[in-house]
Structure 1
Amino acid sequence: MSQSDDPLDNMTTTEVTQILVEFYNHSRYYYTTRSRVDEVSRLKGSVMDFGGSQASFLVQASTLTKRSFVNMTRDIGYYWLRLASYIVVSVCIGTIFVNVGTKFTSIRARSASAFFIMTFLTFMSIGGFPSFAEDLKVSIKSDSTGTTEVSAFVIGNTLSSAPFLMLIASVSGTISYFIVGLHPGFSHYLFFNLCLYASVCVVESMMMAIASVLPNFLMGVMIGAGIQGIFLLVSGYFRRIDDIPKPVWRYPMTYISFHYWDLQGAYLNDMRGLTFDNLNPELPKIPGEYVLENTLMVDLHRSKWWDLTVLLAMVVVYRILFFVMIKLSEDVAPWIRGYIARKRLTRASTVF
């Protein structure tokens, strides 16, 4: 068998690699690159010198707000698909409860329509979890390298999502409000949309806190749906508030449930000031205040604006909780992984 005249055919891969490395180490490319690296490393005020971004907090928050807004605008699954779903569901709600009126049977219909609008529409907000989790992963990587701060991401996400959430709440709220024929008056209409907006914001903020602990899409959606299911059970719709077992379920779960507050506000906004026909036409009409106090167990001494304030406070609490969970995961998670690794090494050394 004849031997090849090409010397590379008679050399191993390791030998060829070593020759290339030696050639590069003595070439002008090596000295040029080395000189450039030394020059960059001597620059003051650079990221290499300080180990992080030198951009101010306001610049980071502004940049992240713009980036999040662009991502939300371009990602059809983030808000646009949800908006389309909300419109379809709102039309369905409106046509089912169309011109609900003030008959005796309308008492139940009004409370049912308010329940479905305030709970199911907010329940659908968990659909944005996958898109948000992806943004969160990018933020965590940037924060670990010192490029951005988590607080800047929280503010940026809050500001960039606000217009989309307001659009979703106002469009779906307007459709369902006027087709159903809820309490007339602009102030009532405005409160209804604000209450729906605050409820959607609470769900978004809650899902942010869940994503900081469970970034897995399936598990995050399941946990979020489970929490909302529990909040629905103690909201006062399925069982009267006074009949809910007081240890744990009424105190504190009822007051932790944001569905309790949005339903209370929606009931007050719609039924206070209305009068309903009695079951027997010969009997006097039923004031809406009587229905609120005796049937729906609504505290008439509390303003509906207080219910809205509680919802907005919950948004802030969940956003702060998200920030704390991210910071804890950054500080505690590496320590836990190191502790587990040390325990395994100790166990392995004992065995051998």
Structure 2
Amino acid sequence: MEAGKDVMDKDFAEKECDSVRGQSSASYLVWDDLTVPVSAGSKRKLLNRLSGYAQTGRILAVMGPSGSGKSTFLDSLAGRISSDIRREGNISLSGKKMKPINHRDLSYVTQENFYLGTLTVNETIAYTAHLRLSSKMTKAEIDEVVEMTIKEMGLEDCAENRIGNWHLRGISSGERKRLSISLEMVTGPLILLLDEPTTGLDSASAFFVTRALRNIADEGKIIICSMHQPSSEVFDLFDDLLLLSSGETVFLGEAKMAIEFFAEAGFACPRRKNPADHFLWCISLDFDSVTATLLLSPRTCQNPASSGFSMRMKTAEIKATLIQSYKSSEYSSAVRRKMQEIAATKDYQVCQLNKNTNSSKWKQLRILTHRSFINMYRDIGYSWLRITFYVLSSISTGTLYFDIGYDNEAIINRGKCVSFIYGFMICLSCGGVPFFDEELKVFYDERLNGHYGETVFVLANFLSSLPFLVANSLLSGTTIFYMVKLHSRFSHYGYFCINLFCCITVIESCMMVVTSFVPNALIAIGTGAGVIVLMMMASQIFRLLPDLPKFFWQYPMSYISFAKWAVEGQYKNVMTGCEFDSAEPGEPKLKGETILKTTFGISLDRSKWWDVTVLLFQLFVYKLLLFLMLRYKKRMAPWLNGHYS
């Protein structure tokens, strides 16, 4: 373990502060008059003039009832407030105003985390380490950091277990929480923010997670975590406590002194009662309804003395009394004096990790492509099940149009065959939406903490999917082409598979854009199906292009529709160079080129390769749209949330 720490120190910590090395000096994260309105221009406040600090080597627990502002407070410190809300107040690190967050200095573990369920715990941490640690580090050094992280977080027993997804049984919820912390600790950030890390865990798992945070804090880190209702054993692990109610500070100071503060304010914690429960009982407005019910109970009416102060006062009165008591208390004065001392002192050593230690873009692309490929390969729903359906559908099509021949009926049957092929190929693309949704959730989670950017993700996702798209195209194309005997020339077989590959790739890219735009996979499947039907209606599949109404369907939909270009190119491919029997015996054979013009209304002014070129251009457009959607979705979030709410 010590060797692992030396590896991290060697690469990132040339400028690391003395506190992280265990010496006497400390770093402080300070917030002064921090105010966040409910929305732009609103007078209501989610946070109302909060002031305080957190320091290295200590755990600051942020507690309060639901809606008190805990998550908003952490979002403010992490710089994740919605772009349409203007945060007021200052946030500084040891007296120096914090600039845009450097993800080497601060990491944020949110309440809900997403993983690629087919990967093991060890693989997940290792991929993250390779994505985030310096390209100058050797594989052995990074592996040592991974091993050290696994040991520190107590994940040795489940290191080789898969995380789990819809078809794989995975690790427990407590192990998932410790995994989420591990992913952010591989780079050794100075500040670690956690939003309710014990939510949904049993008491033993919650204690284990908090104990792990205690060990991290002891290494010289600033730990700030929101907690809803910790057990007394978990509460004893906290150094400092920030109590919030309706966005206002009820108490900030040493956790063990909170009991004394409540007693001084006239709301003493009963013996053998969990202090955390008592604090929340006093400041949560939800308990007013419980109190009213208790006041009406026969037992309380018979023994009014047993009701206690909480039944004699409304929660709003208790909260107002506590807030006022804190403002005039020595605890508040001590916090203010310390903040002034921090602002006045110039020689605090702040941990500034080298910004040049980020992994290179090329390395990130290589690692992310490999990770995505492994996930696709192991996910039977995305890879093998879909390939099986493609092949079975191709065999079915081949049996329907087996050895179609060159008689007069084969003319129309070839058109039906091509339309049928692209019909089921396009529809099957909706099956990838749940997988796309999983990958996008992981991306949003990792992008927020600076693992990699949009460009790397879009390219890696495309490159990792290529082998499966090629396999689908070759297996399906070969099966159909030679069962139906669409053409005698091998070059036409090559074009058939290339056209099929381009079409499937464009459809998958379109579905990725749709999935990135909507809030969940269910809506994405419905929206994607609608887009697919619209594209198919503007192609040759349901009605010949010249017969479509000119307004909207021919112009512009037929030019936008990927189905139109794919089907048109395939019509040219299976008809040109062929001769068919005439409808009347004895008449000359009909050339495929003539049939394209007269029967299908397809012009031969442009080569069939022009259609493939348009499909490749559309592929580029969809990838660009995906990039723009990922880049600017956060800015669009207020509009999207309002639209889908």
**Cα distance between partner residues in 2 of 1:178 and 1:171:** 11
Does residue 320 (structure 1) correspond to residue 624 (structure 2)? The answer is yes
Matching of residues 295-310 of structure 1 within 5 Å: 295-310=599-614
- Which residue number corresponds to residue 344 of structure 1? none
- Cα distance per residue 1:195-230 (max 9 Å; x no partner): 000000011100110111114122111111111111
Give 3-state SS (helix, strand or coil) of 2:542's partner: coil
1:190 to 494, 506, 509: 494
- Post-superposition offset of 1:153: 0.5
1:144 to 433, 448, 451: 448
Rounded to whole Å, the distance in 2 between the matches of 1:280 and 1:142 is 67
Deviations 1:83-103 (A, max 9, x none): 001111111100110000000
- 2: CA distance between counterparts of 1:43 and 1:216? 38
TM-score by length of 1: 0.82
How has the CA–CA distance of structure 1 residues 102 and 330 changed in structure 2, closer, same or farther, with 3 Å as cutoff?
A: same
* Equivalent in the alignment of 1:249: 553
Aligned counterpart for 1:276 among listed residues 580, 603, 625: 580
Q: In structure 1, the residue corresponding to 2:564 is in which secondary structure?
A: helix
User: Structure 2: any 5+ residue segments left out of the alignment?
Assistant: 1-269, 280-347
Match of 1:154 in 2: 458
Match of 2:432 among 116, 128, 137: 128
Q: What is the RMSD of the two structures over their aligned residues, measured on CA atoms?
A: 2.4
The separation in 1 between residues aligned to 2:365 and 2:410, in whole angstroms, is 48
Tell me if 1:13 matches 2:274: yes
The answer for the alignment partner of 1:347 in structure 2 is: none
Aligned to 2:566: 262
Which residue identity does 2:353 align to in structure 1? Answer: K
**Is residue 211 of structure 1 aligned with residue 520 of structure 2?**
no
Structure 2 Cα separation of the partners of residues 336 and 107 of structure 1: 48
Q: Whole-Å Cα distance in 1 between the matches of residues 276 and 421 of structure 2?
A: 73
In structure 1, C-alpha distance between the alignment counterparts of 2:636 and 2:524, rounded to whole Å: 21
Give the corresponding residue for 1:174: 478
| 2-structure distance, mates of 1:186, 1:327 | 44
Could you tell me how far 1:118 is from its partner in structure 2?
2.2
CA distance in 1, matches of 2:524, 2:405: 40
Contact 1:151–1:323 (Cα < 8 Å) also in 2? yes
- Residue aligning to 1:44: 353
Q: Say if 1:226 and 1:10 are closer, same or farther in 2 by CA, change over 3 A.
A: closer
Distance in 1 separating the partners of 2:623 and 2:396: 32
Q: Distance in 2 between matches of 1:202 and 1:306?
A: 16
CA distance in 2, matches of 1:227, 1:76: 26
Whole-Å separation in 2 of the counterparts to 1:66 and 1:216: 26
Residue type of the partner of 1:11?
R
Contact 1:53 1:147 survives alignment (8 Å): no
Deviates more, 1:53-62 or 1:105-114: 53-62
Q: Distance in 1 between matches of 2:359 and 2:349?
A: 19
Could you list the per-position Cα deviations for residues 34-93 of structure 1 after superposition, in whole angstroms to 9, with x for gaps in the alignment? xxxxx9962522xxxx5x981221122111101100100110001210000111111110
Cα distance in 2 for residues equivalent to 1:53 and 1:173: 47
Query: What is the deviation of 1:238?
Result: 2.4
Q: Work out which structure has the larger RCO, using CA pairs closer than 8 Å and 6 or more positions apart in sequence.
A: 1
For structure 1, the residue ranges without an aligned partner over 5 or more in a row are 1-8, 19-38, 341-352
Residues 419 and 540 in structure 2, CA contact (< 8 A), matched pair in contact too = no
- Quote the offset at 1:335 in angstroms: 8.6
Give the Å deviation of 1:271. Answer: 0.5
Q: Secondary structure at the match of 1:78?
A: coil
Q: Which residue of 1 aligns with 2:400?
A: 96
Work out which of the residue numbers 540, 561, 586 in structure 2 matches 1:236: 540
- CA distance in 1: counterparts of 2:600 and 2:458, whole angstroms: 37
Tell me the distance in 2 between the aligned counterparts of 1:256 and 1:40: 58
Are the counterparts in 2 of residues 104 and 276 from structure 1 also a CA contact under 8 Å? yes
Matched to 1:44, the amino acid is: L
1:248-282 Cα shifts (integer Å, max 9, x gaps): 11001011011110111101111111111111112
Aligned to 1:346: none
CA distance in 2, matches of 1:251, 1:99: 37
With over 3 angstroms needed to count, the CA separation of the structure-2 counterparts of 1:225 and 1:15, relative to structure 1, is: closer
Check 1:242–1:335 CA distance in 2 against 1; reply closer, same or farther (3 A cut). Answer: closer
Secondary structure of 1:90's partner? Answer: helix
Q: Distance in 2 between matches of 1:54 and 1:68?
A: 20
CA displacement 1:286-326 (0-9 Å, x = unmatched): 11111101111111111001101111111110010011111
Structure 2 match to 1:333: 637
Hey, what's the Cα distance between the residues in 2 that align with 1:211 and 1:55? 28
Point out the structure with the larger strand share. Answer: 2
Residues 1:279 and 1:136: Cα distance change in structure 2 (over 3 Å): same
Answer whether contact 1:132 1:208 (CA < 8 A) is retained.
yes
Correspondence 1:118 to 2:422: yes
Deviation by residue 1:97-127 (Cα, 9 ceiling, x = unmatched): 0000000000011111111112311320110
Structure 2 residue corresponding to 1:78, chosen from 379, 382, 387: 382
Amino acid at match of 2:441: K
Cα-to-partner distance string for 1:114-150 (whole Å, 9 max, x where unaligned): 1111231132011011011101111011111111101
Shift of 1:240: 2.5
Q: Calculate the TM-score normalised by the size of structure 2.
A: 0.45
Where does structure 1 differ by over 6 angstroms across 4 or more consecutive aligned residues?
Answer: 15-18
In the other structure, the counterpart of 1:199 is: 503
Identical aligned residues as a percent: 39
